Amino acid sequence: MNIPTEWMPKVSMLRIICHWTAGGHKASEFDREHYHLLIEDDGRLIRGIPSIADNVNIADGKYAAHTKGCNTGSIGISLCCMAGAVESPFSSGKAPMTRAQWDALVNAVAELCRQYKIPVTSKTVLSHAEVQANLGIPQRQKWDIARLSFDPSVKGAKACGDKLRAEVTAKLKG
């Protein structure tokens, strides 16, 4: 599924930060307040309440607050999943991330990279769990996305981020 053009206002954005909601498989109004785009368990795209354009300048307080200290110029996209999940010992909780969600994320991020001319690097396409290490901006122990429910062999924020970037890069070339 493509992102509708009207969901991608022509503004300048610097990076894409990928999250999970730590909620259920469907986007709630609460979930929609915090991100520009959400992806439900079947891969369906949902538009968040703030517009991407709201994150060009956050001084008016009207923007998607998805990453502490890193919302300006940052597109926030989130997978609707992982309610009740535990990092260690790992448990996906009652709404595990689905492969359909991941595949839709790869597609959506590739489309956003193309639209906003964002290069695929570890500082410009990354998960919330990588923000502290890759951008040096402290976060409160965020581990989205450091595990993939459908592929337990991929472990850790960097491994998940590298997989995302590799698949997005392949999609952009294809």
Minimum CB separation of residue 78 from Zn ion in Å reads: 7
Among 15, 19, 32, 36, the residue binding Zn ion under the rule CB under 5 A is 19
Residue span 105-144 as binding mask against Zn ion, x where in contact by CB under 5 A, dash where not? -----------------------x---------------x
Residues touching Zn ion, count (CB under 5 A): 3
- Mark the segment that binds Zn ion (CB under 5 A) among 14-22, 27-35, 101-109, 146-154: 14-22
**CA–CA dist 78, 47 (Å, integer):** 10
> Contact, 13 vs 73, CB < 8 A?
yes
For Zn ion, give the closer residue by CB, 111 or 130: 130
When asked if residue 32 is in the footprint of Zn ion (CB under 5 A), the reply is: no
Residues that bind Zn ion (CB under 5 A): 19, 128, 144
